[in-house]
Amino acid sequence: MAQTLFKLFFTQRLAALASTESLRAIREGLLWILPCLLVSAGFLLLSECARVLNFPSPLVAFLAGLHAKISSVIPLLVAASIGYMLAIQHRLPQLPVAFLCLAHVVIATFVLRDYPRASATFVLFIAIASPLINVPAIARLHRYRWTRLVNEDLVGHNLKGTINMVVPGAITALLLVVTLSLLLQVPHVVQFQGPDMLDALQSPYGSGVFVTAINSLLWFFGIHGVYAIQPLFDALDQAVVLNGAALAAGEPIQYVLNAGLLGCFAFIGGSGGSLCLLLAILLFSKSQSMRLLAVASLPLSLFNVSEVLLFGLPIILNPRLFIPFLAVPVINTLLALIVVQAGWVSPAVASVPFTAPVLLNAYLSTQGDLAAVALQLVLLGLGTLIYAPYVRAIHRQAVEGGTVYLKSFDTTFRGLEEKGRLLEMDPVLTSHKALVRQALELSRIQQISDYEFYLEFQPQVSSLTGLCTGCEALMRARDGEGKVHSPWEFLQWLAQARLMPDVDLWVASQAVRQYQKWQKTGFALPITINVSSATLTTPAYGRQLVQILSQANGHVSVEITEDALVGDIQVTRQMIEKLQAIGAKVYIDDFGTGFSALSYLHQFPVDFIKIDRSFVVAQQDPKGAQVLTGMLRFCEALNLGVVVEGVETAEQLAFLQSGRGHSGAELIIQGWYFSKALPGDAVQGFVRERAVKVNDEAGA
């Protein structure tokens, strides 16, 4: 009961919360900062290495300075990118609004210029919060006619949209100045001070929990935890020095809670014990993107720099990771305090910089106590286990039931939507007709974006053995009312929106996942997927496709249509060879319905031909039967495997099995006679059923 409640409340609520539009805008916006962060962190690492290796100090300072400079623009970039995402949501011109949001941060830092500490503490928070407030405010102001400087279309959509941001932009900037100035009138804000006494450290458990919890809580809102409670951290640093002095004087050590203990045991890898999170991702997450991020941030995390995870996952304003992000440092602090007070591990007596690498920091700050290193390892493991279920849950929510919403190609879709709107605003492209067509396309895509996509698998049966030999993955889409739509219908819109490569890559990953799912239950069946020529002939997409399919060890193959063969022969040929290199087979789909395939066929090393249903239908008629047998003979001559599609009746099957016109070699039959496409879970049943039938017939 309690568990169900927990699940209901946290998992579901948090997932719902996490998918709200504005939080999504923040997450995606933060992601755009990642390259900058990595560059900045790279300089930090270099400067740390230079320092450790005793390079000349100007060089160390130079590298550290580069890190600091880039870091200082991060809040500006954060504001701009969140502003950009929100502008899309509110249908405002993106770049002008993004630049306004950036200007808001500059304004805020200027207003707070006499309060550098408050400014340093809150600048990222302001960068996140101000677009969240200001973009909707701009959108609202924009609705009032009086804020629009231009109403006529005389100047073109683009210019008009930009100019009309001036008044709302000025008003929101002014409001920001007024709000901050008023806040500065409040004495407490001016003398913004965290708790400050060394005495507080006398009650280590309470203070330890306070410091670690408040640090996580602040980071959750993008407030720099260490800056916010700087006085307390100063006291914690001082405690280490006092411990060192006490040790030297032969007196008892007073401060169990200190910067050394927190740095080594609570903030392993940075705020929230990020190294634990990172290990949890590497050990327990199946999400490619999360794992990639974890690998990228590993070297930084070893130096206790957690920014990449904070921004990339992100942790900031991500309700799904908040609980462990809070719990891990708190629990680790309490355990470390108990162990140190029990005397099993020495207290910290030497000051060590925050960026001293994990394990080494524990060793150095205790002046060589290996038990401290052991404790750090244990707490690292414990923290990893605490993070594990949350990391798994994120992935599970993403793939639940193998179905995915087009919403998950979000960025792509947004990109398109954005492009559509940009073109719509382009003064050159004012032809009314084009606009109407684009608006229509856009609304179709919007409609499709609410569909839920999934795959079904149509079995294929050998004409010789009667056993199921493979299946074709076919896409299905369910709309909000539960109605299932045919691929003919939605694929044309996706193709027009140039989204086919994204669709194909999604299908590929779903098929691989299905194959792996079967494999776990001891079942295996080759799958083919349909790949459009746009995917095949664009090297970047082709590479991704090969990368995805390589995870299925050649058990997921590819169907391409003839039109892929008439494009760039060189590129297509190379792609086919790459696919075959990972063990995948290449099928020519709808063979005989396109153009010029015959003349090109010998140039491509394909494995199978799929004969289109129209030839099977035509077989009723003597001429049609001749065409079909001719085709079978042709494939045989080229030594190609043959799949015959759309076999619906026993007569059609009998014709194919009779071996009339061909040598009686194996044909693979795919059609409703045997089965329509089945859900992934039903395929195993079909395969078993076929095997039983064949067995019975053999026995009879």
Least Å from the CB of residue 508 to ligand C2E: 9
| Residue 520 phi, psi (nearest 5) | -65, -30
Binding string to ligand C2E for residues 619 to 658, with x set by CB under 6 A, is what?
Answer: --------------------------xxxx----------
Question: Is 200 or 584 the residue whose CB approaches ligand C2E more closely?
Answer: 584
Please tell me whether residue 590 binds Ca ion under the rule CB under 5 A.
yes
Cis before 314? omega within 30: yes
Q: Which pair of structure tokens corresponds to residue 622?
A: 């003597």
Least Å from the CB of residue 473 to Ca ion: 9
Please tell me whether residue 672 binds ligand C2E under the rule CB under 6 A.
yes
Please tell me whether residue 548 binds ligand C2E under the rule CB under 6 A.
no
Please tell me whether residue 169 binds ligand C2E under the rule CB under 6 A.
no
Please tell me whether residue 562 binds Ca ion under the rule CB under 5 A.
no
Say how many CA atoms lie within 13 Å of 305 toward its Cβ: 22
- For the segment 432-471, give every residue that binds ligand C2E (CB under 6 A): 458
| Angle between helix 539-549 and 500-520 (nearest 10) | 10
Q: How far apart are CA 43 and CA 60, in angstroms?
A: 10
| Dihedral sign from CA coordinates of 597, 598, 604, 607 | positive
- Chosen from Ca ion, ligand C2E, none, partner binding at 475 (C-beta under 5 to 8 Å by type): ligand C2E
List 487, 583, 624, 661, residue binding ligand C2E (CB under 6 A): 487
Least Å from the CB of residue 167 to Ca ion: 55
Q: How far apart are CA 224 and CA 555, in angstroms?
A: 49
Question: Is 129 or 471 the residue whose CB approaches ligand C2E more closely?
Answer: 471
Helices (H), 144-202: 157-163, 166-185, 187-190
Least Å from the CB of residue 635 to ligand C2E: 17
Q: Which pair of structure tokens corresponds to residue 433?
A: 């007709």
List 48, 502, 504, 559, residue binding Ca ion (CB under 5 A): 559
| Dihedral sign from CA coordinates of 564, 568, 570, 574 | negative
Question: Is 613 or 662 the residue whose CB approaches ligand C2E more closely?
Answer: 613
- Chosen from ligand C2E, Ca ion, none, partner binding at 310 (C-beta under 5 to 8 Å by type): none
- For the segment 628-667, give every residue that binds Ca ion (CB under 5 A): 645
Our measurement of the distance from residue 619's CA atom to the centroid of its chain's CA atoms, rounded to an integer in Å, reads 49
Choices 50-58, 92-100, 173-181, 582-590 (CB under 5 A): range interacting with Ca ion: 582-590
Choices 148-156, 279-287, 299-307, 481-489 (CB under 6 A): range interacting with ligand C2E: 481-489
Please tell me whether residue 562 binds ligand C2E under the rule CB under 6 A.
no
Please tell me whether residue 491 binds ligand C2E under the rule CB under 6 A.
yes
Please tell me whether residue 530 binds Ca ion under the rule CB under 5 A.
yes
For 34-148, strand residue ranges (E) read none
Hey, what amino acid is at 147?
T
| Residue 9 phi, psi (nearest 5) | -70, -50
CA nearest neighbour of 130 among 78, 182, 88: 78
Our measurement of the distance from residue 186's CA atom to the centroid of its chain's CA atoms, rounded to an integer in Å, reads 42
Please tell me whether residue 369 binds ligand C2E under the rule CB under 6 A.
no
- Chosen from ligand C2E, Ca ion, none, partner binding at 571 (C-beta under 5 to 8 Å by type): none
| Dihedral sign from CA coordinates of 200, 204, 205, 211 | positive
Our measurement of the distance from residue 374's CA atom to the centroid of its chain's CA atoms, rounded to an integer in Å, reads 35
Question: Is 144 or 672 the residue whose CB approaches ligand C2E more closely?
Answer: 672
- For the segment 498-537, give every residue that binds ligand C2E (CB under 6 A): 504, 507, 529-530, 532
CA nearest neighbour of 376 among 262, 264, 212, 259: 264
Binding string to Ca ion for residues 293 to 322, with x set by CB under 5 A, is what?
Answer: ------------------------------
- Chosen from ligand C2E, Ca ion, none, partner binding at 488 (C-beta under 5 to 8 Å by type): ligand C2E
Question: Is 390 or 453 the residue whose CB approaches ligand C2E more closely?
Answer: 453
Q: Is 646 left (phi over 0), alpha (psi -120 to 50) or beta?
A: left
Question: Is 458 or 509 the residue whose CB approaches ligand C2E more closely?
Answer: 458
List 486, 553, 658, 695, residue binding ligand C2E (CB under 6 A): 486
212-239: b (≥16 Cβ within 10 Å) or e: bebbbebbbebbbbbbbbbebbebbbbb
Between β-strands 468-478 and 404-405, what pairing exists: parallel, antiparallel or unpaired?
unpaired
Task: Please return the burial class of 312, using the count of CB atoms within 10 Å of its CB with bins 0-12, 13-18 and 19+.
Answer: buried
Q: How far apart are CA 512 and CA 505, in angstroms?
A: 11
Total residues at interface with Ca ion (CB under 5 A): 5
Question: Is 146 or 488 the residue whose CB approaches ligand C2E more closely?
Answer: 488
Q: How far apart are CA 629 and CA 638, in angstroms?
A: 14
Least Å from the CB of residue 591 to ligand C2E: 10
**Interface positions with ligand C2E (CB under 6 A):** 458, 473-475, 486-488, 491, 504, 507, 529-530, 532, 589-590, 613, 645-648, 670-672, 677
